[in-house]
Amino acid sequence: MNREIWEKAVDFHGHECPGLAIGVKACEAAREKMGIDFSPDEQIVCVTENDACGVDAVQLLTGCTIGKGNLIYRPTGKMAFSFFNRSNGESLRMILKPANREMDRQERQEYLLNAPVDEIFTFSKPSFELPERARLFNSVMCQECGEGAPEHRMRLSGGKTVCLDCFKDYSRGW
């Protein structure tokens, strides 16, 4: 385990925790198994299935960010990360294996930081395709609140173009 990388991740995240260690090891696994490094643009894409502490490590160590469009949140709640390399088409999904014994928080963190990635994660191909590159959308002003939002997030309601906050969804049960 590279302690310098760990310290950078802790500084970015704000504290040490097992969740951050999972993210650091996920990045280590992607580096070992796919040869990926920091992505200055959208060459590397990470689809995270959770919104937990490890995602901060992914942002810091891979350059995958929501703002750049190469960090995508897929809310399954699973401790899983899928990495895609646009340059060569490679992809890899990793999901955290269940702990094989009881450990307190500090023991779990040290185990995660020092165990081989093959002991921590189960690896497979993602079951979904590489997401398309980020698109730019025109901003449209909501005719209710006056706030702007991208056109693909707007709705029609009563003949007006409205944002998601002003849109009153209609459902009859299914």
pLDDT of residue 135: 85
pLDDT of residue 132: 83
pLDDT digits (tens, 9 = 90+) for 158-167: 999 999 999 9
* Domain ranges, ordered by start, for the chain: 3-124, 136-174
Q: Which fold has domain 3-124?
A: 60s Ribosomal Protein L30; Chain: A; (3.30.1330)
pLDDT digits (tens, 9 = 90+) for 135-156: 889 999 999 999 999 999 999 9
- In this structure, are residues 69 and 133 in contact, taking their beta carbons and an 8 Å threshold? yes
Q: Which of 74, 47, 49, 63 is nearest to 12 (CA)?
A: 63
Q: Distance between CA atoms of 78 and 100, rounded to whole angstroms?
A: 18
Tokens of 79: 């401790």
Q: Just give the CATH number of 136-174.
A: 3.30.60
pLDDT of residue 108: 96
- In this structure, are residues 137 and 30 in contact, taking their beta carbons and an 8 Å threshold? no
pLDDT digits (tens, 9 = 90+) for 19-61: 999 999 999 999 999 999 899 999 999 999 999 999 999 999 9
pLDDT at 172 over 90: no
- In this structure, are residues 45 and 83 in contact, taking their beta carbons and an 8 Å threshold? yes
What residue type is 23 in one-letter code? G
